[in-house]
Amino acid sequence: EAGVAQSPRYKIIEKRQSVAFWCNPISGHATLYWYQQILGQGPKLLIQFQNNGVVDDSQLPKDRFSAERLKGVDSTLKIQPAKLEDSAVYLCASSRSGGAENTQYFGPGTRLTVL
Amino acid sequence: GQSLEQPSEVTAVEGAIVQINCTYQTSGFYGLSWYQQHDGGAPTFLSYNGLDGLEETGRFSSFLSRSDSYGYLLLQELQMKDSASYFCAVRDKGNFNKFYFGSGTKLNVKP
């Protein structure tokens, strides 16, 4: 079974520029997550999708961040305009809906550097 | 809100046993998961406790006490490859698919 795919793996931009990340979850996984992980910290949930609907985006800075999962499969996360504090690794994860453990499978992440 | 506390760093020698603690304060608790993350890598699932008690998976065990809002991950027969960060994550009672992650414990295994 193929894992969660993300691209690009690395991105360097200047502040005020825009950037987009792409994620393709494990086939059949209904739930998709975007996390932000700042160096030395744990993953922080930005947005959670169930199929193509948003379940939770309470910690998404909506003035600059947006995300979509139009067909309930792959997803994009966009930042516009970027700030210095957005430098982090952006992790995408997917899971089967419900389940006893709800194991989340993480992609390799996109390391964003904002200069 | 949710609050999780873990030690920031732990050091142990190869072959030893180490325990990583996690205490939490939450408005709605359903379960506790543990994830491992090597430097530059993705978090990978280790264990989940939905009920009080001990769950054992090979060299790793995880424990939960709901009454104490406390859990731990126990790693036995430590190997060099166990050097990584370990995160506890609380499963939200209101949204079963939502997890809040702690800040992580960096485990250094020395020869």
Q: In 3-state terms, what secondary structure has residue A18?
A: coil
| pLDDT number for residue B28 | 87
| pLDDT number for residue B95 | 85
Percent of chain A whose predicted confidence (pLDDT) is above 70: 96
Q: Does B67 touch chain A (CB under 8 A)?
A: no
| pLDDT number for residue A100 | 65
Residue type, B91: R
Q: How confident is the model over A30-53, as pLDDT tens digits?
A: 999 999 999 999 999 999 999 989
For the cut 90, the answer to whether the pLDDT of residue A98 exceeds it is no
- Which residue's entry shows tokens 């939490």? B24
Q: In 3-state terms, what secondary structure has residue A84?
A: helix
| pLDDT number for residue B50 | 92
Residue of A nearest to B43 (CA): A106
Beta bridge partners of B13: B110
Listing DSSP states for chain B in one string gives -EEEE--SEEEEETT--EEEEEEEEESSEEEEEEEEE-TTS--EEEEEESSSEEEEETTEEEEEETTTTEEEEEE-S--GGG-EEEEEEEEESSSTT-EEE---EEEEEE-
Chain A hits for B42, Cβ within 8 Å:
4, 91, 106-109
| pLDDT number for residue A60 | 96
B104 vs A31: CB contact, 8 Å cut-off?
Answer: no
Show which residues on chain A lie within 8 Å of chain B, measured between beta carbons: 4, 31, 35, 40-45, 48, 50, 55-56, 91, 93, 95, 97-98, 100-109
A101 vs B33: CB contact, 8 Å cut-off?
Answer: yes
Of B31, B97, B103, the CB nearest to A41: B103
Q: Which residues of chain B have pLDDT under 50?
A: none
Q: How confident is the model over A100-115, as pLDDT tens digits?
A: 667 999 999 999 999 9
| pLDDT number for residue A26 | 94
